[in-house]
A = this chain, B = another copy of it.
Amino acid sequence: MGTIVVGYVPKPEGHAALRRALEEATLRRARLVVVNSQRGGRDVEGGAAAEVDVDLDGIRRRLDEAGIEHEVRHLVRGMDPADDLVAVAEEVQAEFIVIGLRRRSPVGKLILGSNAQRVLLDAPCPVLAVKAEED
């Protein structure tokens, strides 16, 4: 059974990535590892952390209902999200990684962020990049 790793953040690009990863896991009968990476420590306010927890619970339920074997990793270890994703992909020998690309500039133009670039370059496997839907 193959494993798909998806980078999740509670934002439109994270939702888009998760949706696509779920479809791929269903199609391939693969296991899904959801990685939510947080810089952690003093940066994280209680409110924001609690919000992510609720969000991850929802994701667990959704994957349970879809009958997908899964694991949700909430990493607060001060690594860059890109490093976390690549490390997990190496550890589980991922078939591929799914990441979401976000719209950044004020005019809504997409810019390839440094995290996305690093995942694309450093990943030990192919990377599927999906875009967040328009707001």
Contact = CB atoms under 8 A, between A and B. Distances in A.
Interface in A7-52: 20, 27-28
A120 B101 contact: yes
Give how many copies assemble into the complex.
2
Interface stretch (A60-68, A70-78, A109-117): A109-117
A59 interface: no
Given A111-B121, A112-B120, A129 B130 contact: no
B20 A126 contact: yes
Nearest to A98: B126
Given A27-B27, A27-B28, A28-B27, A126 B121 contact: no
Contacts of A120: 101, 112, 116, 120, 129
